[in-house]
């Protein structure tokens, strides 16, 4: 319980400084030495000590639905980023935060946002207001998973758990059922774009619920979508298809049973946890091929071969792409002579690149984590 002494109050017309009490119906403010925004929230009722009051009606709290890891580009700037996050969270209490550590990116934070646009604006403010250069991992959504087995339930602390980070996805052998968040989406569009939008919604696993006509040229489509199918680039694709004339809005409608799989990305046999994602079983191969192709486009060639693999549950390879090594003409300085000399140089280069492939680190551009999920 927080206690406030000597508040400053105001009503809509005048400012009162510790001279009069506030009465019902007045709008006011007070200053308090609250450093942690979690100590109080919108909707709290403040009242005079040792008095009994009726609490004000509860205000529904915002619920984060998109989660992403945020890491400093330079690990020496970790403390600076922590201070920047603390200051920015003071005026954006809708963002949830928890510590996170990555083997590739170091120490960072797992942040929860209201949507992808909210995430992009928040990260842009970090850069503009605090000069914080960050790496943002691929955004994910919270899935509900039902665990089976007494020992497993005891390990996780509950029969049902919420997973938003693919690295914490449980072993499929201990899972009884998966659930994914669903939304009810409303699309308003000119009728001439109906067929194209229909195909797009079907590709996003949409289920049509209703269709009505506003007038002779405008229709309203109501679809049920999995949240994971619309958080990234659904709105952008809709605008492209409709030449900017269609609008889209959605609301949450709870969780539904589904079948989920985890897709891992391996670079030269080493898993990159920051690129792992959770997807529907029917989309596994499509997502795996798409991620491999986009990684091939995003990663620059190195001095060694880079093998990009998409693996199902960390074992079965479902897609693969190779980035060829940069070539150096080691035989350029030879002018004739015995061919065995040329073959020795080429063989030595081949062995050297094989060794580099075993120990070399693949450099991944920081915007890759977001770009590979765009269709």
* Of the listed ranges 38-42, 138-142, 193-197, the one predicted with least confidence: 38-42
Phi, psi (rounded to 5 degrees) for 262: -105, 125
Q: Which CATH superfamily is 66-143 part of?
A: Elongation Factor G (Translational Gtpase), domain 3 (3.30.70.870)
Name the nearest CA neighbour of 225 among 196, 203, 244.
Answer: 203
* Of the listed ranges 19-33, 101-115, 308-322, the one predicted with least confidence: 19-33
The DSSP code sequence of 356-370 is HHHHPPPP--TTHHH
Q: How far apart are CA 238 and CA 233, in angstroms?
A: 9
**What is the percent of the chain with per-residue pLDDT over 90, rounded to a whole number?**
24
Q: Which CATH superfamily is 262-373 part of?
A: Elongation factor 4, C-terminal domain (3.30.70.2570)
Identify the band that residue 361 occupies on the pLDDT scale cut at 50, 70 and 90: low
Angstrom distances, CA of residue 106 to CA of 100, 103, 313: 9, 6, 24
The whole-number pLDDT of residue 167 equals 83
Angstrom distances, CA of residue 329 to CA of 43, 319, 341, 350: 70, 31, 14, 12
- Other C-beta atoms closer than 10 Å to the C-beta of 364 total 20
More confident residue, 318 or 347: 318
The whole-number pLDDT of residue 327 equals 67
**What is the percent of the chain with per-residue pLDDT over 70, rounded to a whole number?**
77
Q: Two tokens at 58?
A: 């509860």
The answer to whether domain 169-258 and domain 262-373 are alike in fold is: yes
Question: What would the CATH number be for the domain defined by 169-258?
Answer: 3.30.70.240
Identify the band that residue 6 occupies on the pLDDT scale cut at 50, 70 and 90: very low
What is the rounded average pLDDT of the residues 321-343?
Answer: 70
More confident residue, 361 or 81: 81
Sketch the domain layout of the chain as residue ranges.
66-143, 169-258, 262-373
């Amino acid at each position: 319980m927080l206690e406030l002494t000597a508040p400053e109050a105001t009503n809509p017309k005048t400012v009162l400084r510790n001279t009069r009490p506030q009465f019902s119906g007045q709008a006011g403010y007070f200053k308090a030495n609250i450093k942690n925004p979690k100590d109080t929230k919108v909707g709290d009722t403040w009242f005079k000590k040792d008095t009994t009051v009726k609490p004000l009606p509860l205000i529904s709290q915002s619920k984060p639905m998109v989660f992403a890891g945020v890491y400093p580009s330079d690990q020496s700037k970790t403390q600076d980023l922590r201070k920047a996050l603390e200051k920015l969270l003071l005026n954006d209490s809708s963002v949830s935060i928890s510590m996170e550590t990555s083997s590739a990116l170091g120490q960072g934070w797992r942040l929860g946002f209201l949507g992808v646009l909210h995430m992009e604006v928040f990260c842009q403010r970090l850069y503009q207001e605090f000069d914080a250069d960050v790496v943002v991992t691929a955004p994910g959504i919270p899935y509900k998973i039902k665990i089976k087995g007494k020992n497993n339930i005891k390990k996780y602390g509950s029969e049902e758990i919420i997973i938003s980070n693919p690295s914490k996805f449980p072993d499929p052998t201990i899972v009884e059922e998966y659930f994914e968040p669903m939304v009810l989406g409303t699309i308003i569009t000119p009728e001439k774009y109906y067929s194209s939008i229909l195909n797009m919604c079907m590709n996003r696993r949409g289920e049509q619920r209703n269709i009505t006509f506003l007038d002779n040229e405008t229709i309203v489509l109501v679809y049920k979508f999995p949240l994971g199918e619309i958080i990234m680039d659904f709105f952008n694709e809709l605008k492209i298809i409709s030449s900017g004339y269609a609008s889209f809005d959605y609301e949450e409608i709870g969780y539904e049973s589904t079948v989920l799989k985890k897709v891992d990305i391996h670079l030269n046999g080493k898993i990159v946890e920051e690129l792992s994602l959770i997807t529907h079983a029917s989309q596994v191969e499509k997502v795996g091929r798409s991620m491999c192709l986009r990684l091939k486009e995003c990663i620059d060639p190195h001095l060694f071969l880079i093998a990009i693999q998409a693996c199902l549950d960390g074992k079965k390879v479902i897609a693969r792409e190779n980035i060829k090594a940069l070539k150096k003409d080691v035989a350029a300085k030879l002018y004739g002579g015995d061919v065995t000399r040329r073959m020795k140089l080429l063989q030595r280069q081949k062995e050297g690149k094989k060794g580099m492939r075993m120990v070399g680190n693949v450099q991944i551009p920081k915007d890759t984590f977001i770009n590979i999920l765009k269709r």
